[in-house]
Amino acid sequence: MSVTETNIKVIAIPLTEIEPNPDQPRKFFDEAKLEELAAQFRSVGQLQPIVVRPAGDKFQIVMGERRWRAMHLVEDATTIEAKVVSSVDDENAFIMGISENIGRADMTLMEEAQAYADLVGSGYKAERIAEMFGKTTDYVKWRMDLLNLTTDIAELVAAGKIKADFAWYLSKLSPANQKVAVTRYMKGDFKTETDASTFAQALRMKENQEGFFSEKELSEKEKEDKAKERKQAKGKVDQVERAGTLLEELAKLTPTELAELFQGEVGKHLDAVERVRKAAAEAVKKLRKAKAMSEAKQLTVRPELEVESEEDIEGEEEPSESEMAEAAAEEPSEMELEVAA
């Protein structure tokens, strides 16, 4: 929608004559952030007017509810600068409200998901929504998937207790398995966000019976062969542990010491260690998935299981900064989303 300058004017409107839009996509407003903005108003004044439209004998906010709320915290403030837009219908007001809030740190994942879903309900396609807000189509669909979460888990996501990537993998599970995974997550059973997401993926595979262990009865010969394979695999892991010890000793040396020891062959040895690093990273990825599959296979799902709130978990530690950074970098790729859809 475009609004020409001729139908926009800026005036000071009494705070009491303005009301929020009940369809505003953002429902949560951080009190500390509102106070910060109020302090800015006290110091330098209001730098950007809000946008309102006529609504009976009052005005309804189109964009800027956060500023309107913050102005209420400023002592002796009775008015707020506002652009009055007279040609905005309900649908366009909603779209403008979403445009203002998408990407804000304090707009919750669930609010964003519901906003996209409301637009779909108004007849918009995911492709058009993505274009409107500078997102990919997969991103919009992924966010809307979060609406498949159970109410109690959605509340944890909205409160920031569950991060985005894990929340998406949870949304693909049955309600019972959502509760299984979240209960373990809240108890701190997973070392990283990756472990939590991998476990949720394994639960989904179990639901779909994809890629899980064969249930057929093995013959005596097959049992013997399997036992040999396990023994060989254990031997390889033992060798890996010995190699790890050697690498740890190598890592204790300084670059100068390494250069003197290898005398012109540093590049060759660097290539060898790099190959080991890449293989180890791939092995870790697969072992993590194998661990999750093994745990998921052994679970007996209890549909009546209640998700424990944060207050019910004693001794739970906050995620470290490195874990939070890791989680932020691990949102599902578009390829993963396409495969999982």
**Is 65 noted as a catalytic residue in this protein?**
yes
Asked if 61 and 24 count as a contact pair (C-beta separation under 8 A), the reply is: yes
For 66, the 3-state DSSP assignment is helix
Quote the crossing angle between the two packed helices 109-121 and 90-101, to the nearest 10°.
150
Distance CA 168, CA 165 (A): 5
By DSSP bridging, strand 50-55 and strand 58-63 are antiparallel
Among residues 59, 54, 56, 55, the alpha carbon closest in space to that of 86 is found at 54
Of residues 31, 36, 65, 308, which has the active-site annotation? 65
* Of 157, 91, 115, 156, nearest in space to 26 by CA: 115
Residue with tokens 């060759």: 268
Partners of 81 in the beta sheet? 12
Tell me the one-letter amino acid at 178. Answer: Q
Q: Can you tell me the distance from the alpha carbon of 168 to that of 149, in angstroms, rounded to the nearest whole number?
A: 9
**How far apart are the C-alpha atoms of 232 and 236, rounded to whole Å?**
6
- b/e per residue, 37-62, with b = 16+ CB within 10 A? bbeebeeeebeebbbbbeeeeebbbb
Confirm if 81 and 46 have CB atoms less than 8 A apart: yes
**And the tokens for 12?**
């000071």
**How many CA atoms lie within 13 Å of 286's alpha carbon, on the beta-carbon side?**
7
The residues annotated with a catalytic role in the active site are: 65
